[in-house]
Amino acid sequence: MADSTDIKKEKRTQSARNVRPLVESMYLRAHQARERGQKVAYCMVMSQYDEILAAMDIVPVWTENYGGLCATLGTAQPFLEKAEAEGYSNLICGYARTGLGFDALRAETGEAPQTPDGGMPMPDMLLGSSIGCDTRFKWYQALGHYMDVPIYCIDVIVPPVNRNLYEIKDFYVKYQAEQLRGLVKFLEKTTGCQLDPDRLMSIIHRAEEARHWWWEAQQLCRAIPAPMTARDHFNIFVPHHFMIGEEATLDFYKELYQELKDRVDSGIGVVDNERYRLLFAGGLPPWHSMGIFSYFGSLGAVFPAQLAYPPPDPFIIPDNINDPIELMALRSFERFTYRWEQAHRGCGDFWVQHILDLVPEFNIDGLVMHGVMSCRATSMGQIYYQNAVQKYAKLRTLFIGSDIVDIRTYSEAQTKIQIDNFLETVETYKSNK
Amino acid sequence: MTISSRGLERAWELYQDRLSYARVMASQGKKVIGYFCCYTPVELMTALDLVPYRIGGRTDEPVKEADAYLETCVCSYVRSAFDLAICGEYDFLHGLVVPHTCDAMWRILNIWKLHKPLDYTYFIEVPHMVGPSSCHFLEQELKLFKKSLEQLVGRKITEEALRDAIDTHNRARALLQEIYQYRKADPPLISGTEIARVLAAGRGIPVEEFNELLLQVIHDIRTRDSESRRKKPRVLIYGGEVDDPAIIELIEECGAAVVMDDLCTGSRSFWEPVKLKENAMESLAAHYVDDIRCPRTFRPGKPEERFQYLLDFAREFNVQGIILYLYRFCDGHALEAPGLKAYLNRKGFPVLHLEEEYTLLTKGQLRTRFQAFIETLG
């Protein structure tokens, strides 16, 4: 068992430490934008529309991020309780409950709660999507109960893995482009401004460059010892997910790459005695108790990779596409299907394929999955992933259970016991390999 | 199997024997294809003489083995249905079709395939948005689904066969609409329990047989008079896959008449017919994008626009109270419910909002909640 002194020994990157100030500035900018009359939009991550917002000077407020932020800072409870008092089930997404509670309080008192980071500014529009889970559009629909602002949602389709990609590509890409064009039309009407395609194309290029550097930085984490802590992994995705297209974001990932490269070149790991290399292979992080990853570290367990917020798979911008919307639609299809052909030939599931790809690349000894009681999208299938992976790679799996936001679902003592037992089995597995 | 000549009795028998009836069909060489949700275009299966079988669970039995394969955050309807599969109850299925309707549906097919391999499986990507581009997308999806079914059977679906299949299913929809009209009488000429049994029977037999059954049921109802029946508080039930008539029966045992529903296994699945135009596939796609009012589809508009249809139901069927009977872990309904409840309250309807598991093994607490609510409707 490790004590708190051990836990402090993890060597965090400076890049990850720079994220919190970026988040503070993100909310400050959103408030300032609101004050000067610039349009502010509530947004959902991974909706494939990020660069369009940047090109139209619409300031995004990422409502899921606010849920995670509240959980990390321990300020979510009043929002969760308010949402539940409003009749929302305590089983719906923790982010959504936080956001619904926040906006219900704003509607009730006429003032937005100020903590943390000044709260979320009142949006001029709600931009949902269907990517990943149903909550991403149902949440904003529910917000109609608390605010009278326009809402627009788009489909973002992940192609089923059992399909012939050549057979579906044209109409899947066409549909995605049509959905994005519908959004642009809505934004132009709402803001009174036209989208500048050249500006959008330039932002896409900058965004792709940032993604490239993040991807390259992630590849450095194959090194033994691992150069970045699990908590850092769960911080450094923030500029990409919430500030893509900005120069500062590009600079962030270039600096991250350099910092990790320096560490790898010097053989600097995140713990003194790296013994186990684990993959966070399912679920979203328990934002309310991220210290648990330091507990792993204190026992010599590192996470060279994670699948909650991995860098997007590589995409090379084709020379022959001049329409940025068409390019974004194609990019969406190509990224979602990056591992399809291989999955098609082998395990039949893209998520399992992703795990199987990472295991040898990052020398993984075991899998950790977080069953999030309020998130079907990332939790349903974890047992299946474990069972499917076992067909190809004999790996031990730890399932921990709690929520992304709601700490009432969590037992630290029990989780630590689970971790201790799990690492013992990994040790045995490694010895017998 | 003894088949009664009377429609309502026969419906009850068919429902009770649905699994063995399907096994008999399978043993006679029929290809029985399981499917989830009211978004699966069953017309395409009917056009090829396949038998669509709506996957259900069992509320009267605990989950035995599925817990080893499904996380606790998965809705208990899916858990129960998958449990039946794991326990071999669905071994008669030749195949399984799953539309992407909710997060649970998105995941269940691969899990099912890993633990219960089938000769044929298909996943249909159904848009979550409405509008022309969504209809066009689904039309392309359905063309591929059609092609896949044709390969399974070894013959093509002609335009004529598809139009016939749509007509046959539309006939079922029209007959069900007719039966629902008998619920408007006070007291209603057919109980909610009886209708739930008829609907349940229809989920496991070929549509042609179902249409015959519905005609028999209509004949039965026409011979009834409402004078001899006692008037009761009239309620509407709203929810998802409430496929077990026992739930409706419990509400009616508590003193109410369930006179209308907005359920995935009720009116939601048949209220609108497929509006056949020149192109049958296009008509089918438009129907499955636009006509089914499940909260899994995003519809723009304020509550007044989105829920107007429910208010119309409530007024048309002279409803006094509304029960939102939702399953835990069903995000679509859970995120809709508080706004819907507030809207219905504003319109003057008392609402009972329940979030339950898919089980009736412990009815006591549920009975108390229903009784208390129904008493207030007095």
A71-126 pLDDT, tens digit per residue, is: 999 999 999 999 999 999 999 999 999 999 999 999 999 999 988 999 999 999 99
Decide if the complex's ipTM is over 0.85: yes
Q: How far apart are CA A5 and CA A27, in angstroms?
A: 34
Q: How far is CA B50 from CA B81, B205, B284, in A?
A: 21, 11, 18
pLDDT class of B301 with cuts at 50, 70, 90: confident
The verdict on a CB contact (< 8 Å) between B71 and A93 is no
A 278-297 near B (Cβ less than 8 A): none
Q: Which structure tokens are listed for A372?
A: 């999030």
Task: Measure in Å the smallest separation between the Cα of A223 and chain B Cα atoms.
Answer: 34
Read off the amino acid at residue B253: E
Residues A244, A269: contact at Cβ < 8 Å? no
Could you say which of A86, A88, A134 has the minimum Cβ distance to residue B103?
A134
pLDDT tens-digit series, residues B83-108 = 999 999 999 999 999 999 999 999 99
Q: Cβ contacts (< 8 Å) between B144 and chain A: which residues?
A: 163, 167-168
What's the average model confidence in pLDDT over A223-232? 95
Q: A220-258: buried (b, 16+ CB within 10 Å) or exposed (e) per residue?
A: bbbbebbbbbbbbbbbbbbbbebbbbbeebbebbbbbbe
For testing contact with chain B, the best of A136, A168, A384 (most B CBs within 10 A): A384
Q: How far apart are CA B167 and CA B171, in angstroms?
A: 6
pLDDT class of A15 with cuts at 50, 70, 90: very high
Residue in chain B closest to A182 (alpha carbons) equals B133
- Residues listed for chain A: 433
Could you say which of B68, B74, B306 has the minimum Cβ distance to residue A376?
B74
A384 at interface of B, judged by CB pairs closer than 8 A: yes
Structure confidence at residue A343 (pLDDT): 87
What's the average model confidence in pLDDT over A231-248? 94
Residues A187, A335: contact at Cβ < 8 Å? no
Percent of chain A with pLDDT over 70: 98
Percent of chain B with pLDDT over 70: 98
| B151 SS3 class | helix
What's the average model confidence in pLDDT over B149-169? 97
pLDDT class of A2 with cuts at 50, 70, 90: very low
Residues B306, B312: contact at Cβ < 8 Å? no
pLDDT of B156 > 50? The answer is yes
The verdict on a CB contact (< 8 Å) between A383 and B127 is no
pTM for this model (two decimals): 0.95
pLDDT tens-digit series, residues B69-78 = 999 999 999 9
Residue in chain B closest to A93 (alpha carbons) equals B331
Structure confidence at residue B2 (pLDDT): 42
Q: How far apart are CA A60 and CA A38, in angstroms?
A: 11
DSSP letter at B66 equals: G
Could you say which of A178, A348, A379 has the minimum Cβ distance to residue B71?
A379
Helices and strands (DSSP H and E) totals, chain B: 15, 8
pLDDT class of A8 with cuts at 50, 70, 90: low
pLDDT class of A348 with cuts at 50, 70, 90: confident
Q: Cβ contacts (< 8 Å) between A344 and chain B: which residues?
A: none
pLDDT of A145 > 50? The answer is yes
pLDDT of B314 > 50? The answer is yes
Q: How many CB atoms lie within 10 A of CB A87?
A: 18
pLDDT of A346 > 50? The answer is yes
Structure confidence at residue A114 (pLDDT): 87
Structure confidence at residue A1 (pLDDT): 38
Residues A335, A354: contact at Cβ < 8 Å? no
Could you say which of B127, B295, B353 has the minimum Cβ distance to residue A155?
B127
pLDDT class of B226 with cuts at 50, 70, 90: low
